[in-house]
Amino acid sequence: MIDTALLIIDVQNDFCPGGALAVEDGSAIVPLINRLQSKFPLKVMTQDWHPAEHTSFADNHADAQPFSMIDMPYGPQVLWPTHCVQGSRGADFHDELETDNVALIVRKGFRKEIDSYSAFFENDRTTPTGLTGYLREQGMTSLVMTGLATDFCVRFSAVDAAKLGFDVSVVSDACRAIDMDGSLGDAMRDFEENGVKITTSDAFL
């Protein structure tokens, strides 16, 4: 699999149990992701990296409740609990996640006026992170996705990658979902419509 990269999406403390925006059972995927890393020549991680005044935080809008929706210049936006603030413990990767052999860490969501789910584009769908060019320069044609959460950052990363021409697989047992208002079902339909394959870790281990 010399042309296949492993993408590890947002396995950070705030998305794991006890965190500000915890995904149920989120930390359970860490040992599996560690095992998968040895099977791929290139490993890339993404890291949510928000300023405290980020406009996607409910705390930064008067009388707004977490998980409510507002309209941003780039479209509808969920207002999240404050999470993954730059330099905070919550923004750190999970303590047991192996990072030594990771070639690149892509920080996203650092522009205060726009959220970023995808590893490839901000939520305006036009501002690139630079990951596409990096992967192509490294000769990668296939991507295997793991991390948090299946129905948000993994979903948008996988679909964007497929639209960019990569062969994309999501390792279902190395991901966990929020499943907010049917978002997991929406993600699965999005995967199918865009040719994203759903697989398990058994295919690689």
In the set 14, 48, 115, 153, the catalytic residue is 153
Contacts of 181 (CB under 8 A, 6+ apart): none
- Alpha-carbon dihedral angle through residues 54, 120, 188, 33, given to the nearest 10 degrees: -90
190 is catalytic: no
Instruction: Look at residues 150, 115, 203 and name the one whose alpha carbon lies nearest to residue 10.
Output: 150
10 is catalytic: yes
In the set 43, 108, 115, 160, the catalytic residue is 108
- Provide long-range contacts, Cβ within 8 A and 24+ apart, for 129-134: 130/106, 131/44, 131/104, 131/106, 132/164, 134/44, 134/104
* Alpha helix stretches (DSSP H) within 129-201: 131-137, 155-163, 183-193
153 is catalytic: yes
Quick check: 154 and 175 in contact, CB under 8 A? yes
Q: What is the DSSP letter of 107?
A: E
In the set 10, 14, 48, 115, the catalytic residue is 10
Helices and strands counted in the chain (H then E) = 4, 8
Q: Which H or E run includes 36?
A: helix 30-37
Q: What is the DSSP letter of 150?
A: I
Catalytic residues: 10, 108, 153
